[in-house]
Amino acid sequence: MPSDRYSKFIEALRQHHELYRQSIPLIASENLTSLAVRSMYLTDLGHRYAEGKVGKRFYQGCQYIDVIEDLAIQLTKEIFNAEHANVQPISGVTANIAAFFALTSPADKVVSLSVPCGGHISHDRFSAAGIRGLEVLHYPFDMERLNIDIDETRKLAEKERPKVLVLGSSLFLFPHPVKEIAEIAKEVDAKVIYDGSHVLGLIAGEQFQDPVKEGADVVTASTHKTFFGPQRAVILCRKELAKAIDNAVFPGVVSNHHLNTLAGYVIACMEMLEFGEAYAKQTVRNAKRLAEKLHELGFNVVGEQNGFTESHQVAVDVSEFGGGDPVAKMFERINIILNKNLLPWDDLTRTKNPSGIRIGVQEVTRLGMKEEEMEKLAEIMWDAVNSNKSEDRLKQEVAELKSEFNTIKYAFEETEAYTFFENFLSWPARKPAD
């Protein structure tokens, strides 16, 4: 007999998969991987170490790992037109720590977006920038355009002489002024890091700005938000910075670099080359349609004067419904999964209950949803805050809308999205005892 602990564990796995099958997943930093990508997690590569670079490893036994990592590097350079790519960071935060390590010394100044204005925690003093001992200054932000104020940033940079200006963000509705910030950086002898974690797949599909071309010195990005990869990251840079970046990654911040998911990343790159453009186009179209419909119905969607969004994200100010915290929890009860989010006009004291929610349509787009489904989704969301339909009924409507969309599209083979491979659990014949 399997132990209680074991049964409880298996039951949690089973229920998790069932929950996602019935839910509409709208967390903007998440996505699905194809079965081809996932199957790589089970390879022997996940047991190995390949410290060092392709062809220059510290341990024996890496000859085929070299082939795989070299492919990952070549594909990355091709997709992003980058002079150099490092594919070893195991996450976006790791990539950012490495980039700060390469480009700064402790006590240097960096400029990044504040968290309410969209900056990621790792751009700030309480995370990666703080680990490097950096003094963090925040960009002046233009609340009308919902973007960085260039003139005020130039004044700030001339006065403070930062070493790095960080672009890219977690609430990322509109492209950032990379060209203008790169000019300012040149004037004050600073470098530009563009954190493309959220929009990497949109960049690959050529539906967002191209930070490499526009002048970022270094691009860091996780590979699993709008890109098709497993949870890891890449760093792109110019040739001159290659050595500094590579050394900052290893031996700086990784030892083993999760070779099984690196193999998954290779397949994700191939999927991007084949399906990236169509996927990115539909993703942005879906975000725009969802934003417009939510606005039409009466939600206070952020960025009306700028067309709401140019990315996979939509932000809604839900202050009138009690704030982001109760609203996100209410949506969770009807299986619409999204998160509360600080908005540019919130200060950090609002962290527990900020005025906004953030919605990402990249996962439902991977599942094949189009504009029509965005309209239905908007209607359910409006009913949830503004009608007397019961939560049970709304949950049912969510399940119905989702039921036709549980297959992963934009892949070489379309497969079930939330399969829990219970057959693997025929292992072990003898179940663990308590």
* Binding residues for ligand PLP (CB under 6 A): 29, 91-93, 96, 120, 122, 168-170, 195, 197-198, 222, 233
Beta strands 218-222 and 191-195, pairing class: parallel
Cβ closest to ligand PLP, residue 361 vs residue 378: 361
Nearer to ligand PLP, 198 or 366 (CB): 198
Q: Which is nearer to ligand PLP, 92 or 401 (CB)?
A: 92
Least separation in angstroms between CB 168 and ligand PLP: 5
Closest approach of ligand PLP to the CB of residue 222, in Å? 3
CB atoms inside a 10 Å sphere around CB 424: 8
* Residue with nearest beta carbon to ligand PLP: 92
d(CA 172, CA 119): 9
107 Cβ contact list (under 8 Å, min separation 6): 133, 134, 135
Q: How far is the CB of 105 from ligand PLP (least distance, A)?
A: 22
User: Least CB distance from residue 407 to ligand PLP, whole Å?
Assistant: 26
Q: Which is nearer to ligand PLP, 98 or 318 (CB)?
A: 98
**Between 169 and 365, whose beta carbon lies closer to ligand PLP?**
169
Least Cβ distance, residue 205 to ligand PLP (angstroms): 18
Minimum separation from the CB atom of position 24 to ligand PLP (A): 21
Which backbone phi and psi does 143 adopt, to 5 degrees? -70, -20
C-beta closer to ligand PLP: residue 93 or 235: 93
Closest CA to 180 of 208, 149, 202: 149
